[in-house]
Homo-oligomer: A and B are copies of this chain.
Amino acid sequence: MKQIIIASTSTVHGSGYLEYILKELETFFKDTEQILFIPYARPGGISHDNYTANTQKAFEKIGKKVVGIHSFDDPKKAVREAKGIFTGGGNTFVLLNQLYKNDLIDTLKATINSGIPYLGTSAGSNICGLTIKTTNDMPIVFPPSFNALGLVPFHINPHYLDPDSNSKHMGETRETRIREFHAYNTPPVIGLREGSWLDVRGNSIVLKGPLTARIFEYNKEPYELESGSELNHLK
């Protein structure tokens, strides 16, 4: 049975890296002591080693060992043999590009679909959707495709932000951007606010965390979905 946590962010304001979700992760990863970490998104351009070390520190608190995929000679084999996988945030284009470079898309998809628990935060969540066309990131590298893992039949917009009615900025709001997405694409978009996550178990997809999510369906007014609700009907 598929087991996936698709989290908006690794960190909520005023709290440490992964702290808000650690209790959940303790249960989620209960069947493995070692987690394969995919640091490819490299936030702030830090090294894969440093990013992995930071992640190790967070997971130590629930007794897990973290191993970076970059430390394996054969990253495909590392994915196939993993008992738990976490892809951290950073830049989604950099992440997806590196997954393509290492020919990991199909292997990752097959491994997660076989039931190995997968956690994604931010960029690591974006790639769970059909494509990365609803990322907030800057396109600093050109990946061979925007197609992603397609673990859920819709698109994710992590770090979803409500329009700021006091802003004097003339750039597009997040809502405008997602509406423009629907001028060219039909799948739904889940606007996940920081602190929210989707809990996927087999065919069930449930919104978790303290907040509502904003749902954008093609040719429909956007609406709020309560935490605890199922999203299985969206596709």
Contacts and interface: CB of A to CB of B under 8 A. Distances in A.
A170 B9 contact: yes
Contact of A44 (B14, B140, B141, B176): B176
A42 interface: yes
Contacts of A138: 133-136, 177-178, 180-181
Given A9-B170, A44-B179, A94 B139 contact: no
Interface in A180-219: 180-185, 194
Contacts of A179: 44-45
Nearest to A146: B142
Interface residues of A, number: 44
A159 interface: yes
A170 B13 contact: yes
A183 B9 contact: no
Contacts of A177: 137-138, 140
A15 B205 CA distance: 45
Interface string A98-113: 0000000000000000
Interface string A118-153: 000000000000001111111111100110000000
A185 B140 contact: yes
Given A42-B183, A134-B138, A176-B44, A11 B170 contact: yes
A234 interface: no
Interface string A162-181: 00000011111000111111
Interface in A65-107: 90-91, 93-94
